[in-house]
């Protein structure tokens, strides 16, 4: 299983690189890393297992966070029935978004940012993302609320942007009254 220390820290220059498109078929190492990322995220969302393996909880992980400068990420979303839905996303593009802006009330987090960060990150409440799945087939996902934030957060990683870059350092809660908290 992948460990927390395999995830690059925000100071690492790799996290500020615009990643390259993925070509298909994907490489064996990329597929292996995707499986490790999914396993990490799934286990990290189980409180007991996260504590047992000393994992920070996370919902998404992008390739640059594990040292691969390619345009892919995974999101592991817990469903209401306590199962998980995995999104394996290659070469994503946001093709539409809502005008409504939201932010995570408890603050956004990132497995590469190992500190508390005050402030809000404005995100679209809904996005439609077009991407290739693990077989290279073009697909779309319409994401809302928390999942929408996760998709936007991970796409930012592929463009060398951390959520901390989106917080106004002089006024971390700027325009909060113009957005909806989730």
How would you class 117 by CB atoms within 10 Å of its CB: exposed for 0-12, middle for 13-18, buried for 19 or more?
middle
Is-catalytic flag, 6?
A: no
Nearest to 120 by CA among 167, 155, 171: 167
- How far, in Å, CA of 73 to CA of 128, rounded? 16
Q: Which residues partner with 128 through β-bridges? A: 96, 142
Structure tokens at 59: 């919902």
Residue 145 contacts residue 125 (beta carbons within 8 Å): yes
Largest CA distance in the chain: 47
Cβ neighbourhood burial of 70 (10 Å; 0-12, 13-18, 19+): buried
Annotated catalytic residue within 6, 134, 154, 181: 154
Q: Which residues are catalytic?
A: 154
């Amino acid at each position: 299983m992948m460990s927390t220390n395999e995830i690059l820290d925000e100071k690492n220059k790799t996290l500020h690189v615009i990643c390259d498109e993925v070509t298909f078929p994907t490489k064996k190492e990329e597929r292996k890393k995707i499986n490790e990322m999914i396993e990490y995220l799934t286990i990290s969302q189980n409180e007991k297992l996260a504590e047992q393996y000393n994992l920070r909880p996370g919902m998404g992980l992008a390739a640059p966070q594990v040292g691969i400068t390619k345009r892919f990420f995974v999101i592991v979303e817990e469903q209401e029935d306590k199962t998980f839905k995995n999104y394996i996303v290659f070469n994503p593009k946001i093709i539409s978004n809502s005008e409504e802006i939201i932010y995570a009330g408890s603050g956004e987090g990132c497995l590469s940012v190992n500190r508390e960060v005050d402030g809000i990150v404005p995100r679209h409440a809904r996005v439609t993302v077009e991407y290739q799945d693990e077989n290279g087939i073009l697909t779309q996902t319409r994401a809302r609320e928390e999942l929408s934030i996760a998709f936007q957060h991970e796409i930012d990683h592929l463009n060398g942007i951390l959520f901390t870059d989106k917080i106004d350092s002089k006024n971390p809660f700027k325009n909060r009254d113009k957005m909806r908290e989730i």
